[in-house]
Structure 1
Amino acid sequence: MKKAQKVKPKEYKEIKYTEPQLIAFFDSVGKLPIQPLADKATFLADSIFENFTQPMNKIVSSADFVSLKNCIRNGMINTSTAKKIFGEIKFDSTCNAKTLFDSVKKGNVYLEYLPFDGHRNKFDEFGILLGDAAHCDSSMLYFFKGNKIIARQSGYSRYNDNIQYFKNVDGESIIYRRFEFTRGSGIWWFNSFFYKYDGDRIIPVLNELKNSNLLQPSPWGTRELWLESIIQTTNPLVIKVVYHQQFPDTTDYDHYVTDTKPGPMIANDSTVIRYTWNAKTKKLEAQLEKAKINRPQILSYYLVDNEMLFISAYHQRIKTIMLNKNRKKSVLHYLNIVKNQQNELSER
């Protein structure tokens, strides 16, 4: 039998394209249909958002519901009672170790009551969080409609304000949560996931960028960007968005990462976005007609491979930047990087 030979990975050498070649590439991207590029950029976030909730259909008996209310008052639940009410649960020592939270006795699990209807004693639309969310990565959030468990989600989060709610125009509760896609030094990306009570179901109604950041110089991207969404009111939902994007100011291809400086600003603004409830689609819909930013431009702040979308979404703005001779160099440098990246992708 012949010994299998190791396949040497293909090496890619960066090509320095001419200005006419880069301009031709830039114009060709500007002519591409933008929706497929937008769909590609949002695929990961939308997939997680749509599948984050696990439907349940479990009636809690009257006796167990009384036990649950007692546990709510105590802020903890023993594992045998938890299994009886919620079904099989898998918690390790980080979820019930007394050293993490002094108020929880050994053999018990932290329990938090979240009344989504604004009334602590109504027990209509409410959540139960099992396990200390900041330390227990198997923490679970259970959604109740009366004495019926209708859904569950992962409860783990390092943020104390992770689970919040408001009343929709139809009177049912909307819960919104922060979801962390990535976090590091000079880089992070969070979305706000909005879910709504729909009778005996929890349905996804809005997935919106909460905060993204990519500082330069960085090995993770070719633009400096920042976007932050701040909720101003909830009924109706109104969100203020503050954002900027900037090219690095360098034409030194060999020292791109180490020698970058602030360059031409692509966008630097803020805007207010209002949302309306569409009873037919059962979605919260952004009213972007009067906003200063459109959906493809918002998606260009996602920390995914979306350079083609960015070029398309900001095509006219980039074209204006290139009217300035000095700024044009930064744009051509950026386009050279993206064109090389596209060549590498096409050869894989």
Structure 2
Amino acid sequence: ETGAGKSLLLGALGLLLGERGTTDLLRAGADELRVVGVFEIDRTTTRQRIEQLLDTSLPDSEIILARRFNRSGRTAAYVNDQPVAVATLRQLGSLLVDVHGQRESAALIEPAYQLELLDSFGDLHRYRKAYVEKAQQLRTARRRYAELVAAREQRQRELALVKFEREELDGAKLEPGEREELSRERERLANAQELQTFAQSGYVSLYDDEGSAAERIGKVLRDTERWIELDPELAAVAGILESIQENLRDTAQKVRRLGDRWEADPVRLLEVESRLQFLRKLELKYRKSVDDLIVYRIGLDEKENKLQQQEDDLTGLERELADLLRQTNEVGRELSKQRQKIAKRFAAETQKQLADLGM
């Protein structure tokens, strides 16, 4: 509407709905102004949006907005007697009031607002909510699908590498501590002749030679036994010497047996050196020790399962997308059908109201 006298009303309403206040709004001689507005909420969706904005439930269908402004520029805002930010009044204002000017475009020409009016008039929000939820699910699934498709080439390269490494490491037949054990064996085989010489010399010196340790201990033992009658305490000495003699015999036999085991074996030495060379190459390639490679091989199974699961997810998402698209279209068609049905009644009611207004 137009005409004189509305400026004060619109100024007060603007202040109530969060516009910036100016001191020229104050009456002469007054230090403060206060504006209060009571709004009737007759649309369920508007009420829900207001409650969501305020993060509280409204006790009834009315909401009371208040604004205070003083000459020093200080301001305060209230909703149902509870202090709020001025920005909250602005947000509420967009839900509660639509001010129309002579040359201003009103919300009525906006398609989104027209649909909001139609849905409120026909109580179609449950259909609209169902469609929005399905559409959101569809968008989420499409984003996930796009991510998996974009990463598919890289994932397939990783899968091929994992399978190759798994086969290579399985073929290597790695054993914990293998490299250290083979290194010791190589040293034994490389020094087999020297070890045999040591074993033979050691056996002879301990047990099988004139003047050996065993022979000397035996002579001392015999002399000790001859003098026991003169000093019985020598019996304990004889017992110790017998134990030493027995230990020397066992030790000499063990050295001889080890010498038999330390036989030179050029074929086995070649096998050990070849295996060690293979292990060194494997360690250099993967930059891991043999023991770490065993752990790494176990992790390849988990990595392959994860990559394969992503491939399976992609296939499953294709089916899910098709199903979600079908469901979204079904819900959308039902919403459209209900809107078309309500639109006829809405148009008739609107024309009746316009006729009553002489428009």
Output the TM-score relative to the length of structure 2: 0.20
Give the greater-gyration-radius structure (CA): 2
Larger strand proportion of the pair: 1
Output the TM-score relative to the length of structure 1: 0.21
